[in-house]
Each structure stands twice: as C-alpha cells, then as structure tokens.
Structure 1
Amino acid sequence: MRLDAHRLRLLLLAWPAAGLVIGLLLSWLAPEAAPVVLALATLPVLLVLLRDIAQGLLRGNAGLDLLAALSMAGALAMGEELAGAVVALMFAGGRFLEDHARERARREMTALLARQPRHAARHGPEGIEEVPVAALRPGDRVLVRQGEVVPVDGRALGPAVLDTAALTGEPIPITLAAGDPVLSGATNAGEAFTLEAEREAAESTLAGIIRLVEQAQASRPPMARLADRWALGFLAVTLLLAGLAWLEAEDPRRALAVLVVATPCPLILAVPVALIAGLSRAARAGVLVKSGAALETLARVRVLLLDKTGTLTEGRVRLLETRPAAATPPEELLRLAASLDQASGHPVAQGLVEAARARGLPLSLPEAVQEEAGAGIAGRVEGRAVALGGPGFVAAHGWTEAAGADGHPPGSLRVCVVVDGAPAGLLVLADPLRGDAEAMLATARAAGIRRIVLLSGDRAPVAEAVGSALGIDTVLAERSPAEKVAAVLREKPAGPVLMLGDGVNDAPALAAADIGVAMGARGAAASAEAADAVVLVDRIDRLAEAMRIARRARGIALQSVAAGIGLSVLGMLAAAAGHLTPVQGAVLQEAIDVAVILNALRALRG
C-alpha cells in the first residue's frame, strides 16, 4: 500500500509538471491550445483532492485541503488556467515533499523492522539445523554466527562480542562472558557463539521494540490534532478575507489570489514532520517513545519521580568490604560464604557468588542446605558447618552481636558468617549508585524539571542515603505499589509528571503518571508494557537526552507553525490589496510550505 501511495504521489507530481512545461511552450507556439493543456494538467490533481476531501468528511475530518480544491476549481472557472496548474503542481509537490520528509524521519525507527531475523541455527540431535525463529523455545541452544542478528533473548554459553548500536545507539561493541544476558536485535560482532534461549521470539526484546515502533508510527499526537482544529479556524478566516477582497474590489480574481496564498497551510505539514523526526532522534539515542503524544508530554514535564533499585542504583548487590575474624583469611571467608550461597536465588547471594568468581575463587558444592527466605541460609561446605545471614538468623548458629559491632556505610547490608559454630566475619554489600545518575539529574533540572522525588519501596535509611547523595528534593521510602500511585497523583498539580522505574511494582505508577518511562534493558516486561517510553540501553542519562530532543522537536514544530502562518497571513493581505496575482500567490505559498517542512526536519539533527 505504501508503495502504491508513493507511486500515485509521484505520478500526480509529474503530470502537472509536464503539463505546465508544455502549456508554457504552447503559449508562444499555439496560444489557443495552451489553456486546454494547462486545464488538463490541473484536473487529475483536483479530482484526487476532491476524493480525499470526501473521504475525510466521511470520517469527520475537514481541513485546509478544501482551500486547495477551491483554488484550483476557481482558477479553472475564471480562466486562470496557469494559476490552476501552478497550484496543482505546488500542491502535489508539497504532498510529495511531506511524504518524503515523513519517510526520512521514520528511517531510524523502521530500521529495526528490516533487522528481524527469519531463521536461526539451532543445535539439534543430528547437529545444526536451520529453523524458523518462531520455532525456538526456552532452553534451545542457538548458534549465532558472526554478523548475524541475535534472534531471541537468552544467555551466552561462552564469550561473545555484540554490537548493540541498533538497539541502544551505543557505537562501541560490548564484551559478554558466559552466563551474561543477551538481548535479541544485537549483532554478533565477534566469533560465533552459542546462546541458550530464555524466551520465545514473540516475547523477545526485538519483537517488543517492533511492536512499540508500530504503535509510535500509527499514533497522531495531540499537537497534530490541535493543528487540525486550528486549520478550521484558519479556513474560516481565509474565506472571510477572500469574500471581503472580492466585495471591495468587485473582482473575483482578488478572492482567488487570497485562496491560493493560503493553500495549503504550514500548520498541517510542519507539526507531524517535526514530531516524527523527534521520535526518530529519541530512538537513535536509545529511548523508544511509543507515540507523538508521549513525546509532547515529555517536552513539558516539570516533576520527575524515580524508583531507586535498578533505576538510580545498578540493581545488583556488590561486595564492598570483607571483614574476617582474626583466624579466617579474607578470601576464605568469601569462598565459604559464596559456596553456600550457590544454592540460593536471593540477590544478595548472587552478589556474593559473582564477587567470588570475579576473584577466581574455587567454589564447592554445598550440602544439607536449609534456607529461611529473607533471613539467611545454612548448610555444609567441604564438611564444615556454614551459616550466613542477618544477626537474628545466625545467632542460633553461634553468632554474637559483639562480632558485628563495627559500623558500616549508610545504605549497605551486613551479612554475618558463622563457620563451625564460631563467628567467621562480616561481608558488607550494597547496591551502588549508577555512575550516570548524578549527571542525569543535573541535566534534567537544566531541561526544566522543577522537582525531583525518589519513590522507593526500600527501607527508609537506604533510600534517604541515596537521596542525600544525589541532592533529591523529597524521598518517599517503604511505599507499596498503591502508595506509589497515590504519590504520583499528588504531584500532578505541580505540572506534568514523569515516572521512571523498572520493576513490576512500578507498573501501576508508570501508568498513572502523565508519562511513564521504563528501564527496558533489564527491567520487567510489565513495566515496559505500562510505560509510554522505554529506555533501551542500561543508562539513565539517555532519558535526559530524550527530554532535550522532545523539547527541541516541539519547539521547532511551534516555530514552523508561527513562521508559516505569519508569512501566509502577510501574503493573504497583500493578495487582498491587489499586490499579488493568483499565480504569484500560489508560488509564494508553496515556497513557504517547502521552507517550513525543511525547518521541521531540523528536528532530525542534534
């Protein structure tokens, strides 16, 4: 359908262009034939335009296309065939240029559609087999060759080098180790590696992004809908001015000149082009905004609410310090604790295991493991009785409070370790702040954010330590999902509210905010579905960049509208006073249209 529409607009542009050239030549060679040729050059464009107007009226839409139809019909009726042909050519040219501009603006967003792989190399019982991507299931092992696009989300079974530029805008390839998560849509920039699928293709990151792209392309932003309403007012003013010019001069050509100067209006050209360009720029920066409406809201945000874990912090517990008892070497304390924690799925346990493996410590398989959810874990490692957790849990295994009396950094967590019934030491862990968090908040304030609120379900001391470190205005801790929604609603009177989060518990607050933004790189699928925009790369500084892009795109749209309408009004007044002929008015207006479209495309540039 898109190809057919493009060919039709190209044909409609070529027809009046050829007719105008032939008509001008005949005006010297055979003057009596020139009006006929010019009229024939105008009619196809007029007929297509009348069809579009009729279809629009059936849908309840009316706009400035009516002015173009009146101009062409009036020119033919008044014997101004040259003016009619110029209007037809410039109108078809404006439509073609607008279509070209939209396609150029969408290019960054639609690039992902072409990247979606159709087949994958799966390890089968008889070796590698080519299967449709839709046939892949969790647990399948997939060979990703050099240069291929990763077909589904999963985990690398060996080292891998991935180019994620198409997903995140990050130009530098990333290096992954065995066990690291791999997002579909990335390109293998190194040697072939094997991926263990964790999701089906329809549920993968790339499929989700493509659905979001299609949503964004199908939406009509409120600013564009508002432009339609303004267009009706402009239509009424134009018809009134044309009628007054006709009555004052008693010359219908004055009215025709006014009509052609106002055909078509930059209002309906500049706004959608600028906003689609803004969506494309944001996608290139690693933030996929689902709609033009969301982009407009992003440009007007005044209050920023943020979750803590996984948003302002890395969302992964890291070992800060090892405090062994006198008889226990530091590395041995960590090795025994991490060996036991291999049997736990708790984030703290995963942090200890990662720290031990990063130090190259050999871990043993634990035995007789007993875990109390959220409190601690006990078992045997290499024949030794090991227990670790909070003071309350390990007290029954031989821990004394005096062994952990030393202080620890604000927001950190102490893991007490007991070996063979005696205190073995402390492990101090924390979820560190993102390196780009402080810069993002500073940029957000510079972009117009007046108030920043930390909205967390975590303990008050931890949340307040993060808020103090980042200079956040208000810290709201220990909030349930329902309380987060209530906090979002309380902030709305201060201006449009943006909520940034990444967890399932953030989804209701994201949906309640004027614009919800999800951290999609590692965040929960529920938060991405509820959000109006998704940060594709695991960096929150991209949100501030998206806000800057949104403000610039909206500003360019308003600037184009103001300049285009202002110039059109001046031209209409000149035409009403008799200073412009219908032909001159048509050329002037189409020059304005070309200028505002080119200005709107500035939103594509940084």
Structure 2
Amino acid sequence: MLAKSATSGSLRSLDDHLDQILVVIAVSGLIAGLALKLTNMPSAPQLVWAAATLPVLTALLFQAARSMLRGDFGLDIVAALSMTVALGFGETLAANVVALMYAGGQLLESFASGRAAKEMTALLGRVAQTAMRYRGNRLEEVAIETLAPGDRLLIRHGEVLPVDGVVFSGSAILDQSALTGEAIPIERRAPHEVLSGSTSVGTTFDLMTLRPASESTYAGIVRLVEAAQRSKAPMARLADRYAIGFLFLTIGLAIAAWLLSSDPRRALAVLVVATPCPLILAVPVALVSGLSRSAKAGALIKGGDVLEALSRVRVALLDKTGTVTQGSAEIVQIRSARWVPEAELLRLAASLDQASNHVMAAALVAAAKKRGIALSSPTDVREDAGAGIEGQVEGKRVIIGGSTFVQNCTNEGDPRTFRFGIKPGQVVVAVAIDGAVAGIIVMADQIRSDASLAIKQLRRAGITKIVLATGDRLDVATGISEELGIDEILGDLTPEAKVDAVVAARKSGPVMMVGDGINDAPALASADVGIAMGARGAAASSEAAGVVLLVDKLAPLAQAIVIAQRTIIIAKQSVIAGLGLSLVAMCFAAFGYLPPVQGALLQELIDLAVILNAMRALR
C-alpha cells in the first residue's frame, strides 16, 4: 500500500513539472542541434532536433486524447499536426521550434493562471487548523473540527478566526480584507458577531463559538472558491469549438498551397503558422483573472459560465428583507407619556421581553443592548402567544404587545393616541406600566444605508430595469421603492410567485435575482444569475446562487458586473485578434513569404501577445 501511495505521489509530482521538463528537452535539443551544425556530421542535427520534438509531440497527443475522451476538441490538434508533418518532410528544425513554443506556451499558461488565481488561492491557504479553547481555567490547543457552539476560545494577535462567533470579552480589531476586500480594520466589542476568516490585528480577546467550523462563513466561502476553480466556462468551450472550423480551414489552405505551388514546404509553413498553441488558453486566463478581481472586490463568482452570464444581465429583481433592507427590526422612534422618560420605557419593555421568544421581542432586546442599556430580570411572567406579554420588572407591572392587547389590560390611556403618522411597514409595540398606557415603541426594518447608491451604480453598470420583488405587503414595498427610485414593485409574493416573476422579467432581457432567504432560493436558481447575500443570508440561497456577496453590502454587485463585462470583452479580443493574426500569417505562408521556422516564431509571438492581453483582466 505504501509503495502504491509513493508511486501515485511520484506521478503527481512528475505531472506537475511536465511543462518544465518538456521545455528543458526542447531547448536542449535546439541548442545541441545548432552546435552540431558546426561539425562535419550533417545528419546529426536532424536526429537531435527530431529526438527533442518526439517527447513534446507524445505528451501533446496524450493530452489531446484525454481531452477528446472528455468531449473537448481543442486547437492543440493543429500543433500536433504541424509537428508530425514537419518531421515527415524532414523539417526537423521547424518541428523542434514548434515543440519548444508549444511547451513554452503551456508553461506560460500555468504561470498566468497561477498569477490570476492568487487572491482566490490565498483564501484556501488561510484556513485555520487549530484553536486555543478554554477548559475551565486552562487553555488547550484543539483541532477546529472538534469545536462546538458555546466553546470559548482565545484569539491572539495575528490569528485567523477559525469559526463564526461573538466577542465574549475584550475588544476585537479585525482585518476582513480577505472576506470583503476592505483594507481598513474594524473594531467589534461584546456581544457583536464576527465572521471566521477575519484576522485579529489587535490585542487578544475571547470568542464564543456560534456554529461548528464546517458550517462557518469562511468554510462556506472556501467550498465556493474550490467549486469556482473547478469550473470550466462556456467561452472556453466556445473557443475550443472554433478549433473545428479553424482546423478544416488550415488543412484546406495547406492543401491548396501545396497543389497550386507544387511545394510541400508551403503546406508545412501554413500548418506551422496555424499553431495557436496557447491561444485558447488566453480565454480561461482572462476568465480566471476576472473571477479573481471580483473575489477581491467582495463578490465570489462561482465559475466562468456565471461570469459570462453576469456580463449580459439587463434586469435586476431585488428581494426586500435582508437585501434592500437591513433584515431585522430596529427602533425608529419611542413615544412616551409625560410621566415616563423614553429611556426608562425602553428599559422596562426590553427587560420584560427577555422572557419572550417572539421575533419582535428579540429585536427589541437586541436594540436596547445595542444602546448600552442594562436590563433587569423579569418575574411572574405570563404571555399570550402572538398577542402580548405581562410581568413584574423591579416591582412594576409591565405589559407589552399590540395596541388592542395593551388596551384591554389597562385602566388608563389609549395606545392609539400615540399612533399618528405611523408609516406602512412600521410595527407598533405598545407599553403599559402599573395599569396605565406609557407609550409606544415604533420599530421597522430600515433601508440599507448603501441601497440608494447601489441602485445608481447598477444603472451605470447597464441594468435597464430594477424590480422590487418581495413577499411583504404591497403598501410596505411601495414606500421603499418610491424612496429608492425602483421601476416596478411586486408585493405579497410566494416563493413560487417569485419564480414566475423571474420568468416574466426575461421579456426585458437577461435577469439576475438578488436575495438572502431560504424563500429566495428557487428564484435565485431560476434566474440567469442568482445573487446571494452570503455574509448573513441562508445557506440555501448561497448554494442556489451563482454569485455570493461576501460582505453585507450591495456595493460589490455593481463592481462584479463591471468586472464581468470587461473580462468578457478582453476574452473576445484575445480570440478575435489571435485567430485573425494567425489567418493573415497563414496567407503569407501559403504564398511562400513565410518559411516554416520563421512562421513558428511569428505564431508564438502572436500567442504570447494575446495571453498578455488576457491578463489585463487582473487590473
């Protein structure tokens, strides 16, 4: 078993260095043959050049066979044909030059792809393997796979957070550039939630684990990156499909040059000039460059096919909750009676709501803690599920709930007298203290601070129609859309209705759907491009989407669209320029103006130029 493993490892190592080995063989053969030209052995250089070509040709044929078994048909077959014909006609020097340029092109492509994927590969290399966990008063180093929710960890300066958690004690200063692209560190204090993959750049602090490492934000990002790196783009396949027509054109032109001139060297020259070995590599290089740039900007695109589709989108469907809005209720206003201060009203209400599991109760408690208000423990609590709750807080009888519930439980005052000017979508929490209505707390899911700017950026990026598609009430959606300048409003949508909305929107052009919840997953999957708010969104939406926003903002979306558009333009430039220049050179070769060796050198200069052009997508 050990022998088998060692053999497998050796084969992988050989495969990883095959490009370098083939380049060394081709260069050595070329130099040795030129040196032997100076001796009295006229046949020796031919043998050396042929010997240096054969390993490259063999590797090329093996690679072409494997590609064809997978259903891929590439332009590399032209390189194999030109080397074979050159050897058959005795033009071993030309064959050796083509072999060198092919092997060199493969090596250049490996370097270019590695350079382009730098930011994405850096994500994979930063995964923490161990963590310092408290065991009573002691610290122990444990594998991150053993961490469970509730574990308390020590995070030291320079360490990468291994799991999602909340700051338990101390102040966390975090570098989130690997996740969001933002260079400025942020400060988070207890009990603020922080994401795995962030780097601590301040003093040590304690972190309370929220979820296992395998379910944390950074682990999900790593899985998405790995999937993106395994993806092959349709444009790359499209470039391969050009190979069929280009191959027939090459062979036809080579035969015509031979028949019309009776000179087989012209046919060989056409084949040699038509060897765009690294040309089709320029497309995947451009696409990987675009994926890398987008990831650095905070939008992880899962593959080249998604990037190509993103470059074409013209219609955007936006979910409301968690996408255009913050996704959680916040206090908009507190209206209290004259006999109770607003801060005291909030403190008593939030103290009692600690005993409730209602979603609005949790939001109210969180809002109070965010304001730094110290809460007391409630006693003698009684809750009418969905209606309200009452109990004792510091000797006072406190009642919280809807206006009707509080009205029915009090002897003095009416909550409705506080309700003037309430907007659609705002939720009123009425509060009574010791039998008297004390006021109301107005809560709402606020519009994101960057939503208006993000919509303007989407329009500048070429989005011609923006639709707000939400399961919330139409009157709530109308108020938001008017504030943001959205073109169309669709309210009261079920998950199935959101899918229908995506289908209907295609009449205006390719559609992207942006959402964050489980209910958005079907629409994300049915859109031409699904965009998930991955920083806080549901796992189902991230899995269904083609693009995941790594930061809880909309700004990276417009950047990703612009990057995708530029990347596709550069990729097409590479294809058109490379094939066009090759065709011109083939015509010169067919008329005898370009001998085989010079033609091979010229073609590889063309290939080098288009690959360097493709790498512009990194900028």
Q: TM-score, normalised by structure 1?
A: 0.96
Residue number in structure 2 paired with 1:142: 153
Q: Matches of residues 164-179 of structure 1 in structure 2 within 5 Å?
A: 164-179=176-191
Q: Matches of residues 296-307 of structure 1 in structure 2 within 5 Å?
A: 296-307=308-319
Q: Matches of residues 205-604 of structure 1 in structure 2 within 5 Å?
A: 205-264=217-276, 267-398=279-410, 400=414, 402-604=416-618
Shift of 1:28: 3.0
Distance 1:170 1:4, change over 3 A: farther
Matched-pair contact (CA < 8 Å) for 1:227–1:267: no
Shift of 1:359: 3.9
**Aligned-partner Cα distance in 2 for 1:30–1:196:** 80
Shift of 1:370: 3.2
> In the alignment, which of 60, 76, 89 is matched to residue 78 of structure 1?
89
Matched-pair contact (CA < 8 Å) for 2:279–2:611: no
**Aligned-partner Cα distance in 2 for 1:2–1:335:** 65
> In the alignment, which of 12, 32, 57 is matched to residue 46 of structure 1?
57
Distance 1:52 1:358, change over 3 A: closer
Matched-pair contact (CA < 8 Å) for 2:502–2:523: yes
Distance 1:412 1:566, change over 3 A: same
**Aligned-partner Cα distance in 1 for 2:62–2:388:** 73
* Cα offsets for 1:435-472 (capped at 9, x unmatched): 21111111111111111111111222221111111100
**Aligned-partner Cα distance in 2 for 1:443–1:463:** 21
Residue number in structure 1 paired with 2:37: 27
> In the alignment, which of 41, 44, 56 is matched to residue 67 of structure 2?
56
Distance 1:554 1:354, change over 3 A: same
SS at match of 1:453: strand
Shift of 1:499: 0.8
* Count of residues in Structure 1 that have an aligned counterpart in Structure 2: 605
Distance 1:473 1:2, change over 3 A: farther
Residue number in structure 2 paired with 1:5: 15
Distance 1:376 1:482, change over 3 A: farther
Shift of 1:41: 1.7
**Aligned-partner Cα distance in 2 for 1:69–1:239:** 13
**Aligned-partner Cα distance in 1 for 2:97–2:593:** 18
Shift of 1:206: 1.6
- Tell me how large the CA RMSD over aligned residues is: 1.7
Distance 1:416 1:219, change over 3 A: same
**Aligned-partner Cα distance in 2 for 1:528–1:454:** 20
Of 498-507 and 16-25, deviating more is 16-25
Shift of 1:546: 0.8
1:100 aligns with 2:114: no
Shift of 1:593: 0.6
SS at match of 2:447: coil
**Aligned-partner Cα distance in 2 for 1:357–1:135:** 31
Shift of 1:373: 4.4
Shift of 1:304: 0.5
**Aligned-partner Cα distance in 2 for 1:340–1:83:** 87
Residue number in structure 2 paired with 1:128: 139
Shift of 1:588: 1.0
Shift of 1:264: 2.2
Shift of 1:368: 2.7
Matched-pair contact (CA < 8 Å) for 2:258–2:264: yes
**Aligned-partner Cα distance in 2 for 1:417–1:226:** 65
**Aligned-partner Cα distance in 2 for 1:318–1:307:** 19
**Aligned-partner Cα distance in 2 for 1:29–1:114:** 53
Matched-pair contact (CA < 8 Å) for 1:403–1:425: no
Shift of 1:50: 1.7
* Cα offsets for 1:58-83 (capped at 9, x unmatched): 33333222211111111112121111
**Aligned-partner Cα distance in 2 for 1:340–1:353:** 9
Residue number in structure 2 paired with 1:119: 130
**Aligned-partner Cα distance in 1 for 2:389–2:510:** 46
SS at match of 1:432: strand
SS at match of 2:148: coil
Shift of 1:31: 5.7
**Aligned-partner Cα distance in 2 for 1:28–1:294:** 57
Matched-pair contact (CA < 8 Å) for 2:511–2:528: yes
**Aligned-partner Cα distance in 1 for 2:405–2:41:** 103
Shift of 1:30: 4.2
Matched-pair contact (CA < 8 Å) for 1:266–1:592: no
**Aligned-partner Cα distance in 1 for 2:137–2:395:** 43
Shift of 1:271: 1.1
Q: TM-score, normalised by structure 2?
A: 0.94
Shift of 1:357: 3.1
**Aligned-partner Cα distance in 1 for 2:463–2:532:** 18
Matched-pair contact (CA < 8 Å) for 1:455–1:475: yes
Shift of 1:374: 4.2
Distance 1:117 1:402, change over 3 A: closer
Matched-pair contact (CA < 8 Å) for 1:385–1:421: yes
Shift of 1:297: 0.9
**Aligned-partner Cα distance in 2 for 1:146–1:30:** 70
1:15 aligns with 2:29: no
**Aligned-partner Cα distance in 2 for 1:375–1:29:** 102
Of 60-69 and 182-191, deviating more is 60-69
Matched-pair contact (CA < 8 Å) for 1:411–1:466: no
Matched-pair contact (CA < 8 Å) for 2:105–2:277: no
Of 474-483 and 257-266, deviating more is 257-266
Distance 1:585 1:385, change over 3 A: same
SS at match of 1:370: strand
Residue number in structure 2 paired with 1:66: 77
Shift of 1:266: 5.7
**Aligned-partner Cα distance in 2 for 1:64–1:392:** 75
Shift of 1:84: 0.9
**Aligned-partner Cα distance in 2 for 1:576–1:502:** 59
SS at match of 1:343: coil
Amino acid paired to 2:431: V
Shift of 1:347: 4.3
> In the alignment, which of 185, 189, 212 is matched to residue 200 of structure 1?
212
Residue number in structure 2 paired with 1:110: 121
Distance 1:560 1:509, change over 3 A: same
**Aligned-partner Cα distance in 1 for 2:585–2:77:** 19
**Aligned-partner Cα distance in 1 for 2:258–2:382:** 93
Distance 1:361 1:214, change over 3 A: closer
Matched-pair contact (CA < 8 Å) for 1:266–1:565: no
**Aligned-partner Cα distance in 2 for 1:119–1:393:** 52
Shift of 1:590: 0.5
Percent identity between the two aligned chains: 56
Q: Which 5+ residue runs of structure 1 have no aligned equivalent? A: none
